[in-house]
Amino acid sequence: MGNGATMDAALAKKVSGFQRDEITGFILYGKLSKVIKDANNAKVLADMAQAEKQHYEFWKSLSGRDEAPYRGLVFFYYWCARILGLTFALKLMEKGEKAAIDGYRAVSHLVPEAERIGRDEEEHEDSLMALIDEERLAYMGSIVLGLNDALVELTGTLAGLTFALRNGPLVAISGIITGIAAAFSMAASDYLASKADEDPRAGKSALYTGVAYLVTVVLLVLPYLVLPRSGSWIFISLAITLAIAVAIIAAFNFYLAVAKDLNFKRRFGEMAGISMGVSAFSFGVGLIVRAVFGIDV
């Protein structure tokens, strides 16, 4: 189909959608290229923006009119990149673009150029994505270390203390003390291990580990601080804490699965199983300690 050819309503609607997708990508990548500090990443984004612009111009040559971008998506992915990281936002967006590439193939019998554009876009964006270097992904191992250890250790500790003490503020204080001490211990261990391997980023690695641990501690202890201190509320606090732990595991593994192309279900099941298993074991330990030592707070 060349310029000036008449399109039926169905094809015109699809071409309009393709244009909006491409101009959305052009604006998003352009905005991000101007605020990303890393020069390499900024250039990659600028190249991606130009590729989207070229594709938009092709579809415009068929439709003969301009189309507006999806401004809501520009806003969402822009702030997603600023808050959660460039790689995560772009790969999340890329998953949505798979449907667009399938759409190109669906109209390729009417617009032969469409399949080539879809293939070129897929290959070009994959090669560009491989060039992006983001600091937070380089320290993902340290974040995993802090997060996983905090979830496993603290959910078990809080579960055991809940059954042994049955007093919200006491459980919270004990959890906070344990958590802070463990966070510094974990960060120090990570630093020494990295130093032993002569890793020049040992300090930052330890910082990521410690911060991930402390943030997890605060979130897990919070229910014991805001809900009533005794009675059945103590068990409601524990239930909410466990729910928060599962939510943290789900959110983190979703982030990791998108950013590093990993299997979400397998990683989530493994991490959640370990954390909840330790908590269940600690339930029993708490009951035994309470019975054996006759603790009644």
Report pLDDT digits (tens) over 112-124: 787 777 777 777 6
The tokens of 76 are what? Answer: 């969402």
Write down the pLDDT at residue 128: 63
Report pLDDT digits (tens) over 74-118: 999 999 988 888 888 888 887 766 667 777 777 877 787 877 777
Confidence of residue 71 (pLDDT cuts 50, 70, 90): very high
Q: What is the DSSP string of 128-188?
A: HHHH---HHHHTHHHHHHHHHHHHHHHHHHHHHHHHHH--HHHHHHHHHHHHHHHHHHHHH
What number is the average pLDDT over the span 125-140? 68
Report pLDDT digits (tens) over 176-223: 999 999 899 989 988 888 888 888 888 988 998 899 999 999 999 999
11-18 contacts, C-beta under 8 A, 24 or more apart? 11/107, 11/110, 11/111, 12/63, 14/103, 14/106, 14/107, 15/59, 15/62, 15/63, 15/107, 15/111, 16/63, 16/67, 17/100, 17/103, 18/55, 18/59, 18/100, 18/103, 18/104
Can you give the pTM of this predicted structure? Answer: 0.71
Inform me whether the pLDDT recorded for 47 exceeds 60.
Answer: yes
Alpha-carbon distance of 29 to 48, in angstroms, equals 7
